[in-house]
Amino acid sequence: MLCVIKFPAAKANERRPRAFVMRVSDDEMEELERDGEERETHGRQLVASRRFACDELYLSDSDDSEDELTLGTQLQLMNRVGLVEGALSELAHEHQLSITEEIRNQILALEGDLINENEKFTSALVRVEKYTEAQREIDRKLDMQYQRRIAEALDNHLTAVQRDHEYRSQIEERKIRDDAALEEAKKKEKTLQEEKLRQEKINAEAE
């Protein structure tokens, strides 16, 4: 005999509904029926309070005339349904653990990506700082070279001005000496002329 119980699969897995198939052999059914007959009198008091409710329970058997299960079969099915419920609960727990593990792995992956991005940003920031410092050093060296060139140019200009001033001073001094020598020569020549005229005058008077 085949007992089929339909139940929906977990929504997270998004699978189509499937049926739980419970197989009961003929020997087990006969044994359950014998036990049921022995406890039929006592079982009648329990049927009202422990009636097995399974809306989607049906029997796949060629004999459709068997509409009700005996009390023993119901108890056996209840035990097995309890096992099924336990299995379903375990599957749901495993599924929850799987989802939790997947979420944890995704979080770890995101944390790893965030760490990598932070490392890349830090590395880029360090490179920018190094480039900025190198550029400052270059600017400082260029500024020093520029100032040195300006100082050299100013020194050369001052040297040229000083040399020109010295040259002009030398020319002026030479001109002054030449003028003084010329004036002295003129004075000597004038004195000689006067002395010559005086001698000529003396000679003329003596004659």
Residue 122 domain-assigned (yes or no):
no
pLDDT of residue 64: 45
CA 179 to chain centre: 90
Residue 78 domain-assigned (yes or no):
yes
Residue 139 domain-assigned (yes or no):
no
Please, what's the largest Cα pairwise distance for the chain? 209
Which of 56, 85, 59, 55 shows the shortest CA–CA distance to 73?
A: 59
Q: Are strands 18-23 and 2-7 parallel, antiparallel or unpaired?
A: antiparallel
Q: Which domain holds residue 55?
A: 2-84
Per residue of the chain (207 residues), give pLDDT as tens: 444 444 444 443 444 444 444 454 556 556 656 655 555 544 444 443 444 444 444 444 444 445 455 666 666 667 777 777 877 888 888 889 999 999 999 999 999 999 999 999 999 999 999 999 999 999 999 999 999 999 999 999 999 999 999 999 999 999 999 999 999 988 988 888 888 888 888 887 776
pLDDT of residue 100: 92
Residue 100 domain-assigned (yes or no):
no
Residue 34 domain-assigned (yes or no):
yes
Residue 154 domain-assigned (yes or no):
no
Give the count of domains, the chain: 1
pLDDT of residue 85: 80
pLDDT of residue 137: 93
For residues 9-19, b (16+ Cβ closer than 10 Å) or e, as one string? eeeeeeeeeee
Residue 46 domain-assigned (yes or no):
yes
pLDDT of residue 37: 58
pLDDT of residue 21: 45
0.95 exceeded by pTM: no
pLDDT of residue 74: 65
